[in-house]
Amino acid sequence: SQELEQSPQSLIVQEGKNLTINCTSSKTLYGLYWYKQKYGEGLIFLMMLQKGGEEKSHEKITAKLDEKKQQSSLHITASQPSHAGIYLCGARINYGQNFVFGPGTRLSVLP
């Protein structure tokens, strides 16, 4: 089973709509990373969250890490076709252990 779960698995939205992607772990997260991947390309780093309650924003993308450090959400405001791709969360599940990724959320934005 996946150590990190993501929901939804896929999402199709109309341009201009807001959307939220969730990443959930059954264990405490030590550093939560969000990456974006376009087909045929490597992963592009979006942002990193370390502390429970932390929130970061970059352009129209905001990510939060919940107080218990077991869930993160990625929110896109006024989506654009350029936001389309696969969004992956990654984290260290236990202190000092290596990185695991969620299965990804495939986002399509219709013009």
Partner 1 sequence: EAGVAQSPRYKIIEKRQSVAFWCNPISGHATLYWYQQILGQGPKLLIQFQNNGVVDDSQLPKDRFSAERLKGVDSTLKIQPAKLEDSAVYLCASSVLRDRGSYNEQFFGPGTRLTVL
Write out the residues near partner 1 by the rule CB under 8 A. Answer: 2, 4, 30-31, 33, 35, 40-45, 48, 50, 88, 90, 92, 95-96, 98-104
Q: Work out the angle at residue 22's Cα, subtended by the Cα atoms of residues 19 and 27, and round it to the nearest 5 degrees.
A: 170
DSSP bridge pairs for 9: none
Query: Residue 69 CB, nearest distance to partner 1 (Å)?
Result: 13
Q: Given the complex with partner 1, which of 13 and 48 has the nearer CB atom? A: 48
Scored b (16 or more CB within 10 A) or e, 81-96 reads: eebbbbbbbbbbbeee
Query: Residue 76 CB, nearest distance to partner 1 (Å)?
Result: 19
* Residue 30 · residue 91 · CB < 8 Å: yes
Q: Given the complex with partner 1, which of 55 and 77 has the nearer CB atom? A: 55
Distance CA 17, CA 77 (A): 7
Q: Given the complex with partner 1, which of 15 and 66 has the nearer CB atom? A: 66
Query: Residue 4 CB, nearest distance to partner 1 (Å)?
Result: 8
